[in-house]
Structure 1
């Protein structure tokens, strides 16, 4: 047992010390301890929050939600712009792009910074669940919702810690674009019932999310089996993760739109 703990400690120390020297000093990057703490705090809120609100009146968060959602539209727009423009200026390959770890590369640092912002945005987006709880919209807190939020913070901690750039940019760029559309929808919905007639495209938002996942899957599978100087371990994790999201979102789409429409016929 002692030798097992020693090996685990040695691996942990190795993992800490072999990260990207450019990003290690940045907030919430060097150690997994802070993001793990955030993870457990989030799970506690998911478990305890509905119990706390059970006998309380739902909060009216209209102004907060409008500000929050449109702020994320702005942040997502900024990140999409940075991913796209930086990749074009640096002449990134959309098929195979190694990570530029050079501290002297301005474009490499710029790409690493937007990867960090993307990671931080995933931490901020945990507030989605908090707002559901405060508004007593517990039906929105599904396994898919919690799974997606929990896994994204760890996935992007690892991305910023070890591969801030390279192939990672493609995932961040696609997801930032989708989140511009998604939080625009949420922001408009938060403005009140008078906006419902303009929100007929909710189904197509889910389709856009799924198209994104298939695009990421194709991109990552290609790199997993091609000769690309990018860690295969990360490509494999992304492949397995994106398959899980495709399955979960496909099930959500079926239950929300296909089966629901059949019941109405």
Structure 2
């Protein structure tokens, strides 16, 4: 069963944080320890830090980074047409476009570690209510699965669709974070905040549909383990985001409507 861990990497190219599991394990473990215990102890007798300048720079960098990788990915997919969308298999190691696949996939993967700063900043601002189970699960899931997908499947392939969609969602999401962090009162006026969650849910619907489309191709030589993993992930994430959307937007609206009705009566 554990022989799989003795296999050589699917791609021999060695990139930082992608050639050994231990740096990933250490970073994720420290992140979890800081968010759940160390950070809260550190902030216990301190006032929340004013991170508006830091968040301004961080959010702008995220917008630019995700936007650049998204734009580069779209240009690559349209200009070179390197993949059949119904069955995106791994390119051979000696394919002339393989290095582009590697670089774009690695650029997406490495940013999942920078995303962990979201929660660190939340702790330093003592906005603990923002750290939900969904928030933690999502931030832990991405670097962990990202490493193991690279380790056992290589760069690129079936997850390209998920990566491109996620990059676009992150551009929209960090644009909202940028505006709301700089002008706090605007948080209540940004009408598209609710639609960011709907966009995230739509993302998982498209990922699920693409996965089913791939599974329906009888001659598609994509790892069934990978497709089943994506299937489970897209369903689980959609359900969790739906639950969040219901409690954050639908139920409060119903409660407010009911209160107005009682007041008028």
- The alignment's TM-score, normalised by the length of structure 2, stands at 0.90
Structure 1 counterpart of 2:17, from 21, 28, 35: 28
- The structural deviation recorded for 1:70 is 1.0
- What is the alpha-carbon distance in structure 1 between the residues aligned to residue 98 and residue 121 of structure 2? 36
- What is the alpha-carbon distance in structure 2 between the residues aligned to residue 83 and residue 154 of structure 1? 23
Structure-1 residue corresponding to 2:33: 44
After superposition, residues 237-252 of structure 1 pair within 5 angstroms as 237-252=229-244
2:156 aligns to what SS in structure 1?
A: coil
2:48 aligns to what SS in structure 1?
A: coil
- The alignment's TM-score, normalised by the length of structure 1, stands at 0.90
- What is the alpha-carbon distance in structure 2 between the residues aligned to residue 255 and residue 60 of structure 1? 29
Deviates more, 1:51-60 or 1:186-195: 186-195
After superposition, residues 1-265 of structure 1 pair within 5 angstroms as 8=2, 10-14=3-7, 17-22=8-13, 25-48=14-37, 49-91=39-81, 92-105=83-96, 107-161=97-151, 162-193=153-184, 195-196=186-187, 199-227=190-218, 228-265=220-257
- What is the alpha-carbon distance in structure 2 between the residues aligned to residue 11 and residue 111 of structure 1? 24
- The structural deviation recorded for 1:194 is 5.3
Unaligned runs of 5+ in 1: 1-6
2:150 aligns to what SS in structure 1?
A: helix
Structure-2 residue corresponding to 1:3: none
Instruction: Tell me: CA distance 1:194–1:139, structure 2 relative to 1, closer, same or farther (3 Å).
Output: closer
Please tell me whether the aligned partners of residues 39 and 150 of structure 1 are also in contact (alpha carbons under 8 angstroms).
yes
Superposed CA RMSD: 1.6
- What is the alpha-carbon distance in structure 1 between the residues aligned to residue 154 and residue 226 of structure 2? 9
- What is the alpha-carbon distance in structure 1 between the residues aligned to residue 22 and residue 184 of structure 2? 42
Structure-2 residue corresponding to 1:4: none
Please tell me whether the aligned partners of residues 46 and 129 of structure 1 are also in contact (alpha carbons under 8 angstroms).
yes
- What is the alpha-carbon distance in structure 2 between the residues aligned to residue 168 and residue 81 of structure 1? 17
Aligned residues: 253
